[in-house]
Amino acid sequence: MIDPVALLAFVPAALALNLTPGADMMFCLGQGIRGGPRAALAASAGVAAGGMVHVSLAGMGLGAAVATLPWLFDLIRWIGVGYLLWLAWAALTTRPRDPSRALPAAPGRRAFRTGLVVSLTNPKVILFVLAFVPQFVVPEAGPILGQFLVFGAVLSVGGFVINGAVGIGAGRLGSGLTHPRAALWLSRISGMIFAGLAVRLAVLERV
């Protein structure tokens, strides 16, 4: 189903990409700061699931549709910008909590859903998949879609582990900061992260 040599070459390349700080890592960092380790892991799982959706769509030929319909790229991009700005507003308007209570972890289901939406509305992910993954696809080895899915799984699992670890580290730090003023600043930091990601996505140029 997949060429072993191509897979061996893909794994270190994927690991290097996963270790490069980017929007996904910063998003999981923000979720960890705001909601704790559990929220960070759930958000990382959502991002990974979104990545698999992108890989599947790319393997089925969505790249051709994006290439022929430029407005589709912009539509997805601006939906993502709006969603990230909404997250930033929610974080920046959070009120300080009771100092006797630790910062509660966000519900895992909500954090997962948020990570999934953020990943799905970032068109750069699918453009990256279309530029990177085909270099390792060997048509003679088997179905193209199957190879895309295997490579996508490698990327997603690596991203889940690395982004989750970053978010857990931030979450453990944040979970001990229960003073209202500290809680306020944590919300502001995560809000600025979301806003920064929105700006980054808004100025993104199609490549």
Q: Encode pLDDT of 116-167 as tens digits.
A: 988 888 776 777 777 778 778 777 777 878 888 999 999 999 999 999 998 8
CA–CA gap between residue 194 and residue 119 (Å, rounded): 13
Tokens of 129: 């998949």
Retrieve residue 171's tokens: 């979450």
Average pLDDT over residues 11-28: 81
Q: Any idea which residue has 């857990």 for tokens?
A: 168
pLDDT tens sequence across 83-112: 778 878 877 886 654 434 444 445 678 889
Distance CA 183, CA 176 (A): 10
Place of tokens 């982004």: 163
Provide the CA 89 distance to its chain's centre, in angstroms: 19
Are the C-beta atoms of 33 and 170 separated by less than 8 Å?
Answer: yes
The pLDDT value given to residue 130: 74
**CA 15 to CA 11: how far, in whole Å?**
6
Rounded to two decimals, what is the model's pTM?
Answer: 0.73
pLDDT in tens, 185-196: 767 777 787 788
Give the whole-angstrom CA distance, residue 190 versus residue 180: 15
CA 197 to chain centroid, in Å, comes to 11
Structure tokens given for 23: 């929007």
- 15 by DSSP, 3-state: which? helix
